[in-house]
Amino acid sequence: MINNNHFCVIMAGGVGTRFWPLSTHKVPKQFIDVLGVGRTFIQMTYDRFRRICLPENFIVVTGAPYKDLVLEQLPELQDHQVLLEPHRKNTAPCIAYANHHIAAKNENATIVVTPADHLIMKEDEFERVIKHGFEFVEEYDALLTIGLEPTRPETGYGYIQKGVQVTDEINEVKTFTEKPNKELAKVFCDSHEFLWNSGMFLWSLKTINRSFELHLPHLNNLFAKGKDIFMSTKEQDFINSIYADCQNISIDYGIMEKAHNVYVHTADFGWSDLGTWGSLYANSCQDNKNNSIVGKNVKLYESSGCIVHIPDDHIAVVQGLKDYIVVQKENRLLVCKRDEEQKIRQFVNDLMLDDSAIDFI
């Protein structure tokens, strides 16, 4: 039986520039079937947590332009469950907004916070870990994050150093480290003391609100002014009036790296933060030439190590490429070296300076 106090907050406000041209400002990657499996990232995230939380206890925090996309893709949700940020202000304001909205409905809530665009391969193990995490934060005054056993010296993820062991799977957090260089990432992996930071959190509403009061008082006070407004018709106007004054700060910097009641749950459920074409390539099926292909009508000749993503109703023939990204979406086409995909963000920025190209991004 699902606990009525369990809430899920899905953070879905990113624009997914690194997945251009599939992801655009109009339809970011969380609303796209990037994997070619018939479900978008946000739908897969909802499906995953639907096993743990009731439909009425989901909150999606996103940008105002994406409200209709959320409701279209998650038809079980009601309008009031989609919280609209007027400005992108990083994860701390996003979470503070969700906390105060939830408090107006259930002051005894326990909450799991998740990005909308992660890949989880082992669904049953994931469910077990999240349920265990809920049990922990219901018993202890704890801010709990999920850490994944590293399988390689990845430089694209943050790391969490484990401290004192509390249970078989939960430790105090000793340190957080942002994305390291290759040498330091190797040291982390070899030490077996560090975990990948998944960006998923669990806590009770009371604990996280006390943490905001202590570590981000200005931000907390802004939202606290609307205590009697949340869950009313005046909520959006109130949010629009205060958001410009919110700090642009992550929950990691604002609270997790300052608080003394931070814990990490070690997990291994086939997780990946699919933030780049490279990470998608690493987690996708490949043919005998190490090509990853999405699209029913794609023919590759004398090509290897490529990721090719073409709509099913288009035909693509690729010859003589090695380690390239080839992606088509409507009237947009990208051909880029896999090891230089970090330039995609610059490509998009350049297009934004070109008035004739602005509709394509």
* pLDDT for 353 beyond 80: no
Please, which pLDDT band fits residue 359 given cuts at 50, 70 and 90? low
Task: Determine the Cα–Cα distance for residues 91 and 286; give it in Å rounded to an integer.
Answer: 34
Ranges assigned E (strand) in the chain: 6-11, 58-63, 82-85, 110-115, 118-120, 143-148, 159-165, 170-177, 194-204, 262-267, 271-273, 292-294, 298-301, 307-309, 316-319, 324-329, 332-337
Task: Determine the Cα–Cα distance for residues 1 and 13; give it in Å rounded to an integer.
Answer: 31
Task: Determine the Cα–Cα distance for residues 302 and 201; give it in Å rounded to an integer.
Answer: 45
Ranges assigned E (strand) in 12-64: 58-63
Closest CA to 208 of 102, 132, 90, 99: 99
Angle ∠(84,85,88) on CA atoms, nearest 5 = 145
The average pLDDT across 171-187 equals 91
Q: Which is it for the CA torsion 262, 52, 65, 342, positive or negative? A: positive
The average pLDDT across 293-302 equals 95
* pLDDT for 355 beyond 80: no
User: Across the chain, what does the average pLDDT equal?
Assistant: 93
Give SS3 for 236. helix
Task: Determine the Cα–Cα distance for residues 170 and 149; give it in Å rounded to an integer.
Answer: 13
Could you tell me the residue ranges of all domains in the chain? 6-272, 285-360
The CATH architecture that domain 6-272 belongs to is Alpha-Beta Complex (3.90)
* pLDDT for 356 beyond 70: no
Length reported for the chain: 361
Please, which pLDDT band fits residue 358 given cuts at 50, 70 and 90? low
Maximum average pLDDT range among 21-25, 41-45, 357-361: 41-45
